[in-house]
Amino acid sequence: MIDLPHRLRALRRQQTLSLEQLAQRTGLTKSYLSKLERGLSEPSISTVLRLAEAYGLGVSQLVGSDDAAQEEVVSVVRVADREALQRRGLGSEYHYESLAGRRKVKAMEPFVVHPPREFPDATAVFPHPGEEFLLVLKGAIEVHVGERQFRLETGDSVYFDSELPHRMRTVSRAMAEVLVVAAH
């Protein structure tokens, strides 16, 4: 069975909603929503319908009880099972591997990147809302963040505001492997 209080709390945080904002979306009281998130109350079907609509989910996605839903709470990804992510357009030369598995509600996006040896385009940068953390697992990279550039070796890391334009490339003989954690 899915941990509904945890799911409700995670969904609200992921969408950066206060209890008051969620109350306005659903027509439910803040105190009732708080009780649901703490597991002190059980929602009626009409409450589940309101919450699913507020989050843009189907009811089964919100309260599903199958094994796939359970995998969302604790997600283990074996190295052999990493899913390759494809990026369309700029940056398609970067190779990404997902580390979050089937977890759908998350505050971070962890993945491994194998950056190309050359920047795909002199003007290609990838700003987006949030923060980002990079840790070089193998090799060495050159990373540009805003107007600054750094050479990072195996074990080195950088943390930055991801709204700054940024990009990276492999500068070692062997292709670099970089753990990237992007937070919304």
Task: Report the CATH number at residue 93.
Answer: 2.60.120.10
Q: Is the alpha carbon torsion for 74, 4, 111, 18 positive or negative?
A: negative
Q: What is the pLDDT of residue 89?
A: 43
Residues 35 and 111 in one domain: no
Q: How confident is the model at residue 161 (pLDDT cuts 50, 70, 90)?
A: very high
Q: Considering 73, 100, 121, which residue would you say is the last residue of a domain?
A: 73
Residues 86 and 171 in one domain: yes
Residues 87 and 46 in one domain: no
Mean pLDDT of 48-61: 81
Q: What is the pLDDT of residue 29?
A: 93
Residues 27 and 43 in one domain: yes
Cβ contacts of 128 within 8 Å, gap of 6 or more: 162, 163, 182
Residues 96 and 56 in one domain: no
Q: Considering 54, 73, 92, which residue would you say is the last residue of a domain?
A: 73
Residues 66 and 90 in one domain: no
Structure tokens at 37: 């998130």
Give residue 27's domain range. 4-73
Task: Decide if 29 contacts 41 (C-beta within 8 A).
Answer: no
Q: What is the pLDDT of residue 65?
A: 52
**Whether residue 72 has pLDDT greater than 70:** no
In tens, the pLDDT along 126-148 reads 677 789 999 999 999 999 999 99
Strand order in the sheet with 131-138: 83-85, 95-98, 108-114, 177-183, 131-138, 157-161
Q: What is the pLDDT of residue 2?
A: 64
Residues 91 and 178 in one domain: yes
d(CA 123, CA 25): 41
- Most confident range (mean pLDDT) of 14-18, 23-27, 170-174 is 170-174
Residues 92 and 68 in one domain: no
Residues 163 and 100 in one domain: yes
Q: What is the pLDDT of residue 90?
A: 44
- pTM to 2 decimal places: 0.61
Domain count, the chain: 2
Q: Considering 73, 101, 119, which residue would you say is the last residue of a domain?
A: 73
d(CA 7, CA 11): 6
